[in-house]
């Protein structure tokens, strides 16, 4: 495979040969950052843009792998922190790596554990998340509390297991070692995801830390790749993570810094609301090399995120909200979301979405699924999760095709106006 080249202001950086890994852009949408392409991995090709199905603990909750394949899921993303706790990265490695261990036999991703720095740290038990806004006031400030399960220092993070309280530590180097043991095709560099409500002084401090951790991640990644290369094992790609919150200067600075590390792709972290994608994502993408893939880490659950992400140069997405909301009774349809547990659906003998081709909609009615939830039957969780995952995977497939066909803007306008039942204006 040909080597990749990135021009910086004062030098050219050349990456080492990476067999069975690469990214080709096949179509570009005129006057836009949107594109379609193919991400090549040792476990198969991925057509992009694509929604990566969330399999946090080496499983997509309530679904079998055959069901994930039936909805055209192309790849699965697992979580390094959770697999470190159970069953342990060494067990996954002994099982042949993530894909073989879970019998997926397709492309896989792992995030680094960086999001748990936020979710088990300043966000723990405060009711805030990555889409927090100023209305939450001091709740999102980056202040330590006695009950949080993650404490940050300059060299890494001390965790207390949310399972049994045992002490754990993760550093850039250990995150890389864990991810290579887990064996996904694409890894993320270890980063800190700061609270979106943190003060600017802390965001700057956090960004400097993320950059140093990215540098150390790259050094460790290259070292492990040499070991694996000598053993005849396949390449595992490293994508660096761009942070910088809502501050343009910092987003651009972060994108330039991560670009200069010559990683294989990029995750854009800490994105907040759809209206901010044309700013925060756009600032980063403008500074990143065009010929490498870009991932929107943990996108929100707004359907408009998918259209706006693609429009502003995103190639891959992940989000666990679709299965989680499905397990709670929330269903996505072409005309908006519904709560299938509501009484109005007790005698509704139509599919969740009459236009949907998923197994659930082809075989079951709202009344039946409403009954399953009321009766606390586990099948309710499977049928709803299957529908929601099909919905989002299929929608991104349609968005990809609209980029290829050159009909993206017409498709975006018509789809979102129908979904939101009003003209869509991001």
DSSP assignment of 365-408 equals -HHHHHHHHHTT-THHHHHHHHHHHHHHHHHHHHHHHHHHHT-H
The rounded distance, in Å, linking the Cα atoms of 288 and 296 is 14
DSSP assignment of 226-237 equals HHHHHTTPPP-E
Among candidate residues 191, 262, 315, 318, the one labeled active-site is 318
CA angle, 198 as apex, 192 and 201 as ends, to 5°? 90
Radius of gyration over every alpha carbon of the chain, rounded to an integer in angstroms: 21
Check if the beta carbon of residue 64 is closer than 8 Å to that of residue 86: no
Among candidate residues 111, 185, 191, 305, the one labeled active-site is 111
In whole angstroms, how far apart are CA 137 and each of 127, 128, 181, 191?
Answer: 12, 10, 41, 25
Question: What torsion do the CA atoms of 60, 61, 66, 69 make, to the nearest 10 degrees?
Answer: -40
335: nearest Cα among 246, 414, 241, 221: 414
322: nearest Cα among 341, 306, 342, 310: 306
CA 55 to centroid of chain Cα atoms: 11
Q: Cis check for the bond before 341: say yes or no (omega within 30 of 0).
A: no
Check if the beta carbon of residue 27 is closer than 8 Å to that of residue 400: no
Q: Cis check for the bond before 124: say yes or no (omega within 30 of 0).
A: no
Told to judge if 185 belongs to the known catalytic residues of this protein, a careful annotator would answer: no
Q: Which residues pair with 339 in a beta bridge?
A: 330
The rounded distance, in Å, linking the Cα atoms of 294 and 286 is 12
Question: Helices (DSSP H) in 125-198: which residue ranges?
Answer: 172-182
Told to judge if 405 belongs to the known catalytic residues of this protein, a careful annotator would answer: no
Q: List the structure tokens of 394.
A: 């299929």
**Burial letters 14-36, b for 16+ CB under 10 A, else e:** eeeebeebbbeeeeebeeebbbb
* Active centre residues (catalytic): 111, 318
């Amino acid at each position: 495979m040909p080597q990749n080249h990135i021009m910086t202001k004062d030098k050219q950086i050349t990456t080492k040969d990476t067999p069975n890994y690469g990214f080709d852009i096949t179509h570009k949408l005129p006057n836009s950052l949107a594109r379609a392409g193919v991400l090549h991995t040792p476990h198969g090709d991925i057509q992009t843009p694509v929604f990566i199905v969330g399999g946090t603990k080496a499983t997509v909750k309530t679904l079998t792998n055959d069901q994930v394949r039936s909805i055209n899921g192309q790849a699965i993303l697992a979580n390094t922190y959770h697999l470190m706790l159970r069953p342990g990265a060494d067990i996954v490695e002994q099982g042949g790596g993530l894909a073989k261990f879970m019998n997926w036999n397709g492309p896989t991703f792992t995030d680094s554990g960086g999001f748990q720095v936020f979710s088990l740290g300043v966000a723990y038990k405060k009711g805030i998340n990555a889409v927090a806004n100023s209305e939450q006031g001091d709740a999102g400030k980056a202040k330590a509390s006695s009950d949080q399960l993650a404490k940050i220092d300059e060299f890494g993070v001390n965790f207390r297991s949310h399972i049994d309280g045992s002490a754990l530590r993760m550093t850039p180097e250990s995150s890389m070692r864990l991810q290579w043991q887990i064996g996904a095709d694409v890894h993320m560099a270890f980063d800190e995801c700061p609270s979106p409500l943190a003060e600017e002084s802390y965001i700057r401090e956090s960004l400097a830390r993320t950059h140093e951790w990215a540098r150390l991640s790259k050094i460790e990644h290259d070292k492990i790749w040499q070991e694996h290369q000598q053993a005849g094992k396949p390449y595992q790609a490293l994508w660096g993570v761009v942070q910088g919150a809502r501050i343009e200067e910092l987003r651009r600075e972060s994108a330039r810094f991560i670009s200069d590390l010559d990683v294989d792709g990029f995750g854009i972290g800490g994105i907040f609301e759809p209206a901010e994608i044309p700013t925060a994502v756009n600032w980063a993408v403008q500074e990143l090399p065009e010929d490498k893939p870009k991932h929107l880490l943990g996108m929100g659950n707004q359907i408009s995120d998918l259209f706006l992400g693609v429009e502003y140069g995103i190639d891959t997405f992940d989000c666990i909200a679709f299965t989680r909301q499905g397990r709670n009774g929330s269903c996505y349809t072409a005309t908006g979301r519904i709560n299938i547990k509501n009484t109005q659906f007790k005698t509704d003998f139509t599919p969740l979405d009459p236009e949907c081709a998923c197994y659930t909609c082809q075989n079951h009615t709202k009344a039946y699924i409403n009954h399953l939830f009321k009766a606390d039957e586990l099948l309710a969780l499977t049928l709803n999760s299957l529908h929601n995952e099909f919905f989002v995977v299929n929608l991104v497939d349609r968005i990809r095709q609209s980029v290829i066909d050159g009909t993206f803007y017409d498709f975006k306008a018509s789809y979102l106006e129908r979904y939101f039942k009003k003209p869509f204006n991001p």
